């Protein structure tokens, strides 16, 4: 349910629809560039299985997530961060959390000196739930291509 109370399709269960923005995947997770990024490199970690809460992940999925975090995420983050890797993580779980799609998705927000939130996390989190989806995001496709190249990933139709 969206904040307007209208029905929102669970696009995160539809890999084919997400494919243009997927820039990496392993056994149980996809790394997806957010369609309406609030910072450069705003990405989502999305489980392939429909779960609503992070505690619903099974042991194999946690292992898959750990691999992503240890081996893949640092490479992607380095593209957007300054000298030291800095990022915010945001997860909305449950209907009062500001969540729009009830399929678990972990927002990863790379931070860099001089980004538009200047170190202010409260403002950043507010933007995740109140962002304007009409903003210009024409550069997203280019970023997806660059990340795929960086991570040597070629999407396969399933
Ligand atoms: Zn789903």
With a pLDDT cut of 70, the percent of the chain lying above it is 91
Mean pLDDT of 108-131: 81
Mean pLDDT of 146-157: 93
Please tell me the predicted confidence (pLDDT) of residue 114.
82
- Cross-sheet strand order for the sheet of 106-110: 22-25, 29-33, 43-47, 106-110, 87-90
| C-alpha of residue 55 to centroid of ligand 1, in Å | 15
| C-alpha of residue 10 to centroid of ligand 1, in Å | 5
| C-alpha of residue 46 to centroid of ligand 1, in Å | 9
| C-alpha of residue 97 to centroid of ligand 1, in Å | 17
Mean pLDDT of 37-63: 96
| C-alpha of residue 49 to centroid of ligand 1, in Å | 7
**Please, is 20 exposed, middle or buried when counting C-beta atoms within 10 Å of its C-beta (0-12, 13-18, 19+)?**
middle
The better pLDDT of the pair 139, 129 is held by 139
| C-alpha of residue 105 to centroid of ligand 1, in Å | 10
Give the confidence band of 136 by pLDDT, cuts at 50, 70, 90. Answer: low
| C-alpha of residue 45 to centroid of ligand 1, in Å | 13
Cα 68 versus chain centre, distance: 13
Q: Could you give the domains of the chain?
A: 11-128+135-150 (3.30.428.10)
| C-alpha of residue 12 to centroid of ligand 1, in Å | 5
Summarize pLDDT for 58-67 with one digit per residue, the tens: 999 999 999 9
Give the confidence band of 134 by pLDDT, cuts at 50, 70, 90. Answer: low
Q: How far lies 119's CA from each of 8, 40, 73, 131, in Å?
A: 32, 14, 21, 18
With a pLDDT cut of 90, the percent of the chain lying above it is 63
| C-alpha of residue 66 to centroid of ligand 1, in Å | 21
| C-alpha of residue 154 to centroid of ligand 1, in Å | 23
97, two tokens: 């959390």
């Amino acid at each position: 349910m969206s904040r307007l109370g209208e029905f929102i399709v669970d696009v995160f269960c539809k890999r084919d629809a997400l494919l243009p923005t997927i820039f990496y995947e392993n056994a149980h997770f996809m790394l997806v560039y957010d369609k309406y990024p609030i910072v450069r490199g705003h990405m989502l970690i999305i489980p392939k299985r429909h779960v609503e809460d992070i505690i619903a992940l099974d042991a194999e999925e946690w292992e898959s997530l750990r691999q992503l975090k240890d081996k893949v995420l640092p490479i992607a983050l380095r593209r957007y961060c300054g000298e030291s890797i800095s990022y915010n993580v945001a997860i909305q779980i449950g209907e009062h959390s500001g969540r729009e799609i009830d399929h678990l998705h972990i927002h990863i927000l790379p931070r860099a000196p001089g980004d538009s939130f200047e170190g202010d996390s409260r403002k950043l989190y507010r933007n995740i739930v109140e962002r304007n989806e009409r903003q210009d995001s024409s550069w997203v496709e280019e970023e997806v291509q660059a990340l795929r190249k960086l991570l040597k990933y070629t999407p396969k139709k399933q």
